[in-house]
Amino acid sequence: MIHINCEQSQFSLLALYLGCLLILIFQQYAVLASEQPGTINNIFTDRSPQIEAGEELNFGNRHKLSLSDCFSKADNSNKEIALASSNLSIAQAGIIIAKAIPNPTYNMAYGFGPAWRFVIAGNNQQFGWNEEIQIAGRRSKKIGLARANYLQTAFEVEAVRFAVHNRVRRAYAELAMAAAYAKLTQNQGNNFQKLFAIAQKRFDAGKAPGSEVLQAKLNVLQLKTQHNQAQGRLVIDSAQLKFLLGENPHNEEIASIDDISLYNLLSGKSGIVPDPDRGIPPLEQLLPTAWLQRNDLKAAIQQAYVNRKALTLAKTQRIPDPFLGFNYLISTYAPYQLRYFTPQPGAQKVPFQPGYMVTVAEEIPIFNQYQGQVNQAKATWIQQLKQNEQLYSQAAADIVTAYEALVVTIANLRKFQDDLLPAALQAVHLSRRSYALGKTDLATAILAQQQYGGLASSYFDCAVSYQNNWADLEKAVGLPLNL
């Protein structure tokens, strides 16, 4: 029998516990000595020990495109702009058609047989021309309508050009934010990897079960899905940008754009849209500017003018154009017609008998006074006026919506930068330190890490919204952003 004194046993266990605690503290001191609470300027880093920075962001060695380069390339190569511009040639041809004077119509009536050989029948051969005479100012009204249609086409081309520029800005911002998302997943992997290292050291020291190591490793492995999503987003956004630039994507390639720091992208200082510190123009100035600058409004107003010109032209159909004709008549009688014609004394044969004839033909609008065409043109004009009113209301609603969304987004950005993210990052460091010292469990550290990741994701979404809100405001106002 071995008898152990109870007091000696308790003292030995206490000494063993204190010794292990000191060893654990010294083991973790080297890991935690370099960790300092972060600020907004170093919340996100550009590199991760687990995923190399260039793995997702392989832009190649080509010349990097700036936003202005993309605008110029879209102007020259975008297929939508080229298609819309081709309508100008069609409209220009319409002016030439309207200016054209109708060609004269040649007519001839030449007969054969006794009816034209014997003078008693009295039929002559005829040659002549007919010409349509445009009256009631119809030709000048056609020209005015064609010119108005050409100007309306020009406004539509500029509207398409501006819309493509706006989409290029969005696509460029989306690609830049996709690169930022790839970097963000790298940084999240870095933070989870640190937590995994601490759990591994605690397990090696016998202070944590293996389940904590597996749980920490699971958090690291689950970022692989975000890594794949970031890579796919880069390829998709690159393909969209290439399409707008007039290029045909051939494989999974990533467009090369200017390098923009992660902090500048997420803080709205990317150079793609104005900085948040510059402020927003007053809403009272944006509405009048939109009425003067939006090309789609100009095109709609011009379309109403075109429809009014078409109504004026339709009214001229009530006075139809006359057709003026001039004919020359000759006789082809047989020279001698003793049976049916007794010549005067001394006459030898039938004389040649030429003549001239002027004809006038004109439609008489008795049964059809073209009232249907006039009513149709008038209804089309009135419909366009109502559509313009609806477009004005929609433009005003778009401006107010984009303006308010931008104001809210700027306020949220500043809230994330000044309060939420620094507090969440500090909570991550403290929870990780407490877990390393054994004061809290792994679940608390993971919860703090997940809260920080959720706030970082929300901050990223807010930064994306900031880019899109400026693009929405640019589209609503119809004036390019001045960077």
C-beta of residue 89 within 8 angstroms of C-beta of residue 108: no
The CA-to-CA distance between both ends of the chain, in Å, stands at 89
Per-residue confidence (pLDDT) for residue 197, from 0 to 100: 79
Q: Which residue has the higher pLDDT, 346 or 132?
A: 132
What are the C-alpha distances in Å from 287 to residues 109, 128, 177, 396, 477?
A: 70, 64, 30, 7, 7
The Cα–Cα gap between 9 and 439 comes to 26
Per-residue confidence (pLDDT) for residue 34, from 0 to 100: 36
Indicate the residue type of 270.
Answer: S
The Cα–Cα gap between 156 and 162 comes to 10
For residue 137, is pLDDT > 80?
yes
Mean per-residue pLDDT of the chain = 79
Per-residue confidence (pLDDT) for residue 279, from 0 to 100: 80
Question: How does residue 341 score in pLDDT terms, banded at 50, 70 and 90?
Answer: low
- In this predicted model, what pLDDT tens digit does every residue of 158-194 receive, in sequence order? 999 999 999 999 998 888 888 877 777 777 777 677 7
The Cα–Cα gap between 139 and 316 comes to 10
Least confident of 61-70, 75-84, 469-478: 61-70
Question: How does residue 316 score in pLDDT terms, banded at 50, 70 and 90?
Answer: very high
Question: How does residue 414 score in pLDDT terms, banded at 50, 70 and 90?
Answer: confident
For residue 254, is pLDDT > 50?
yes
Question: How does residue 347 score in pLDDT terms, banded at 50, 70 and 90?
Answer: low
For residue 100, is pLDDT > 80?
yes
**Pairing state of beta strands 355-361 and 105-109?**
unpaired
Q: DSSP readout, 54-91?
A: HHH----SSPPBPHHHHHHHHHHH-HHHHHHHHHHHHH
Contacts of residue 15, Cβ cutoff 8 Å, sequence gap at least 6? none
Per-residue confidence (pLDDT) for residue 13, from 0 to 100: 40
Share of the chain residues as helix, strand and coil, in percent rounded to the nearest 5: 65, 5, 30
Question: How does residue 380 score in pLDDT terms, banded at 50, 70 and 90?
Answer: very high
Least confident of 15-24, 180-189, 321-330, 369-378: 15-24
Average pLDDT over residues 363-387: 93
190 half-sphere exposure, CB direction, 13 A CA radius: 17
* Cα 56–Cα 58–Cα 60 angle in degrees, nearest 5: 175
